[in-house]
Amino acid sequence: MKKTLVVLVSLLVLFTMMLSACAPAAAPEKVVETVVVEVEKEVEKVVEKTVVVEAEAPEDPMAVAREKLAGKKLAGILSGAVNDAGWNTQAYMAMVSARDTFGLDIAYTEHVKVEDAAQVMRDYADAGFDIIFAHGYEYADQIAQVAQEYPNIPFIQTNGSVGDIKNLYTITLSTGEGGYFMGRLACQATKTGKITIIGADEFPIWSHHILMFKQACTDLGSKAEVSEVYIGSWNDPAKAKQLATAAIANGSDIIISNADSGDTGTVEAVKEAYDKGNKDVRMISWVKDKNYLGPDFVIGGWTEDVAAELLYILADKIAAGEPGGHFAIGMKEHAAYMNPIYGLVSMDIEKDVVAKIEGYLKDPGSIPTLKVRTDL
Amino acid sequence: MQAKHQPRKQNLWQAFLEKSFNITIPVVAILAAFAISGLLILGWGSNPIAAYKAIFQGAFGSPNAIATTLTRMTPLVFTGLAVAYGYKAGFFNVGAEGQLYMGALAATWVGVTFTNWPGWLLVIACFLAASLAGAFLALIPAYLKAKRGFNEVLTTLLFNYIVMQFFAWSLRIDHPMAGVDEKWGLVNWFGIKDPTQPYPKSAFVAEQSWLPSVNSFLKTGFINSIFGGTHWYQASLAEPALERITLAPLLAVLGVIIVFVLMFKTTIGFRARAVGVSPDAARAMGINVSKTILVTALISGTLAGLAGAMEILGTQHRVMERFLVDAGFTGIPVALIGQLHPVGAWLSAFFFGALRAGANRMQITTAVPVAMVYVIQALTILFAIAGTTIELVSYFKKSRMTSLSERAEEERLSLENNEVLDA
CB-based contact (8 Å) between A110 and chain B?
yes
> Which residue of chain A is at minimal alpha-carbon distance from B59?
A119
**Between B7 and B202, where is the model more confident?**
B202
Model confidence at A7: pLDDT above 70: no
Which stretch of A264-268, A339-343, B266-270, B384-388 has the lowest confidence by average pLDDT? B384-388
A6 vs B contacts (CB less than 8 Å): 87, 92, 336
Q: Is residue A206 a part of any domain in this protein?
A: yes
H or E stretch at A61: helix A61-69
Write out pLDDT tens, residues B243-264. Answer: 899 999 999 999 999 999 999 9
Q: Are A143 and A300 in contact (CB under 8 A)?
A: no
Using a CB-CB cut-off of 8 Å, the residues of chain A touching B173 are: none
Using an 8 Å Cβ cutoff, are B335 and B80 in contact? yes
Q: What CA–CA distance (Å, rounded) separates A245 from A239?
A: 10
> Cα distance from A80 to chain B (closest Cα, Å)?
12
How does pLDDT run across A84-103, given as a tens digit for each residue? Answer: 777 899 999 999 999 999 99
Interface of A with B in 309-328 (CB under 8 A): none
Tell which of A115, A157, A175, A206 to mutate to test the B interface (max B CBs under 10 Å): A115
Shortest distance between the Cα of B228 and any Cα of chain A, in A, equals 23
Residue B322: list chain A partners with CB under 8 A: 113-114, 138
Tell me the average pLDDT across A265-272: 96
Considering only CA atoms, which of B57, B58, B97, B32 is closest in space to residue B333? B97
- A161 and A201 together in one domain: no
Q: A131-135 and A254-258 as β-strands: parallel, antiparallel, unpaired?
A: unpaired
Residue A321 shares a structural domain with residue A362: no
Q: In this structure, which amino acid lies at residue A180? A: Y
Give how far A232 is from chain B: nearest CA, Å: 9
Tell me the torsion sign for CA atoms B227, B228, B230, B233: positive
Q: What residues 297-356 of chain B have any CB closer than 8 A to a CB of chain A?
A: 311, 315-316, 318, 320-325, 329, 332-333, 336, 356
Neighboring chain A residues of B165 at a CB cutoff of 8 Å: 232
pLDDT tens, residue by residue, A99-118: 999 999 999 998 898 888 99
Whether residue A284 lies inside any domain: the answer is: yes
- Is the domain of A296 the same as that of A319? no
| Alpha-carbon gap: B123 to the closest alpha carbon of chain A (Å) | 21
- Residue A87 near residue A287, CB atoms below 8 Å: yes
Position B360 pLDDT exceeds 80: yes
Provide the number of CB pairs (under 8 Å) joining chain A to chain B. 116
- Distance of residue A342 Cα from the nearest chain B Cα, in angstroms: 35
A 63-102 near B (Cβ less than 8 A): none
CA of A17, closest CA in chain B: separation in Å?
6
Clarify whether residues A287 and A188 are in a common domain: yes
**Residue A143: its chain B contacts at CB < 8 A?**
none
Nearest CA in chain B to A375: B198
Number of domains in chain A: 2
User: Both A222 and A351 in a single domain?
Assistant: yes
pLDDT in tens, A320-364: 999 999 999 999 888 999 999 999 999 999 999 999 999 999 999
Query: Is pLDDT at A214 greater than 80 in this prediction?
Result: yes
pLDDT value for A178 = 94
Q: What's the pLDDT score for residue B177?
A: 86
User: Which residues neighbour B80 within 8 Å (Cβ) at sequence distance 6 or greater?
Assistant: B331, B334, B335, B338, B345, B346, B348, B349
Beta carbons of A113 and B363 less than 8 Å apart: no
Is residue A278 domain-shared with residue A353, that is, in the same domain? yes
Residues A184-212: what's their mean pLDDT?
93
**A205 lies in the same domain as A350:** yes
The string of pLDDT tens digits covering residues B80-120 is 999 999 998 899 999 999 999 999 999 999 999 999 999 99
Closest Cα in chain B, distance from residue A12 (Å): 11
DSSP characters for A249-307? HTT--EEEEE-GGGHHHHHHHHHHHHHTT-TT-EEEEEES--GGG-TTTEEEEEEE-HH
* Rounded CA separation A327/A313 (Å): 9
Handedness of CA B49, B51, B53, B56 (dihedral sign): negative
A38 and A143 share one domain: yes
- For the residues B199-225, what does the mean pLDDT come to? 90
Show residues of chain A in contact with B320, CB under 8 Å: 114, 138
Assess B371–A contact: CB distance below 8 Å, yes or no.
Answer: yes
Question: A102: domain CATH number?
Answer: 3.40.50.2300
Give the minimum alpha-carbon distance from A144 to chain B in angstroms, rounded to a whole number.
Answer: 13
Whether residues A155 and A247 fall in one domain = no
Say yes or no: A217 and A357 in one domain. Answer: yes
* Assigned domain for A41 exists: yes
Q: For chain B, say whether A233 makes contact (Cβ under 8 Å).
A: no
Confidence grade of residue B1 (pLDDT, cut at 50, 70, 90): very low
Which residues of chain B have a CB within 8 Å of the CB of A113? 322, 324-325
Q: Report whether B210 contacts B317 (CB < 8 A).
A: yes
B363 inside 8 A of chain A by CB: yes
* Smallest CA–CA distance from A373 into chain B, residue: B198
- Alpha helices, DSSP H only, in B45-62? 48-60
- Structural domain includes residue A205: yes
Q: Pick from B351, B350, B369, B349: which is nearest to B359 by CA?
A: B369
Using a CB–CB cutoff of 8 Å, tell me whether A107 touches chain B. yes
Share of chain B above pLDDT 90, in %: 62
Q: Which of A15, A87, A119, A132 to mutate: most B Cβ within 10 Å? A: A119
Mean of per-residue pLDDT scores for chain A: 85
pLDDT at A213 over 50: yes
Residue A49's pLDDT is what? Answer: 45
- Is A20's CB within 8 Å of B365's CB? no
**Residue A105, phi then psi, degrees to nearest 5:** -95, 135
Q: Do B375 and A18 touch (CB under 8 A)?
A: yes
Higher pLDDT, A61 or B54: B54
- Stretch A121-133: mean pLDDT: 94
Q: Using CA atoms, how far apart are residues A186 and A216, in angstroms rounded to an integer?
A: 9
pLDDT at res. A32: 38
Note the pLDDT tens digit of each residue in B366-405: 888 888 998 998 999 888 888 767 655 556 556 666 666 6
On whether residue A169 sits in a domain, the answer given is yes
CB contact under 8 A, A115 and B377: no
Amino acid A17 reads M
Rounded to the nearest angstrom, the minimum Cα separation between A85 and chain B is 20
Which chain A residues touch B381 with a CB distance below 8 Å? 10, 13-14, 17
**Cβ separation of A5 and B153 shorter than 8 Å?**
yes
Contact at 8 Å (CB) between B262 and B73? Answer: no
| Chain A residues with beta carbon closer than 8 angstroms to that of B168 | 232
Q: Distance between CA atoms of B44 and B40, rounded to whole angstroms?
A: 6
- A376/B198 Cβ within 8 A: yes
pLDDT for A1 equals: 52
**Whether residue A205 has pLDDT greater than 60:** yes
| Cβ contact B325–A204 (<8 Å) | no
* Cα–Cα dist A147/A125, whole Å: 10
Reply yes or no on whether the pLDDT at B351 is more than 90: yes
Asked whether residue A98 is domain-assigned, the answer is: yes
Q: A199 and A123, same structural domain?
A: no
pLDDT at B423 over 70: no
Domain-located, residue A92: yes
Residues B77, B83: Cα–Cα separation, whole Å: 10
- For residue A80, pLDDT over 70 is answered with yes
Range of the domain at A169: 28-173+307-333
Domain assignment of residue A316, yes or no: yes
Are A298 and A313 in a shared domain?
Answer: no
Judge: B364–A22 Cβ closer than 8 Å, yes or no: no
Greatest mean pLDDT range, A275-289, B178-192, B224-238, B361-375: A275-289
ipTM of the complex: 0.75
Window 151-170 of B: residues touching A by CB (8 A cutoff) are 153, 165, 168
Verify whether the Cβ–Cβ distance A9 to B375 is below 8 Å. no
Q: Does A56 reach chain B within 8 Å, measured CB to CB?
A: no
pLDDT in tens, B72-87: 999 999 999 999 999 9
What are the pLDDT digits (tens) for B304-328?
999 999 999 999 999 998 888 889 9
Counting beta carbons within 10 angstroms of the beta carbon of residue A364, is it exposed (0 to 12), middle (13 to 18) or buried (19 or more)? middle
Distance from C-alpha of A153 to C-alpha of A125, rounded to nearest angstrom:
8
pLDDT at position A47: 43
Question: Is residue A18 within 8 angstroms of chain B, CB to CB?
Answer: yes
Q: Which residues 390-419 of chain B have a CB within 8 Å of chain A?
A: none
Angle between helices B342-366 and B48-60 (to 10 degrees): 120
Q: What integer pLDDT is reported at residue B404 of this predicted model?
A: 60
| pLDDT at residue number B249 | 96
Kindly report, residue by residue over B59-68, the tens digit of the pLDDT. Answer: 999 999 999 9
The mean pLDDT value for A174-179 works out to: 92
pLDDT tens, A21-58? 444 433 333 333 444 445 455 545 444 444 444 445 55
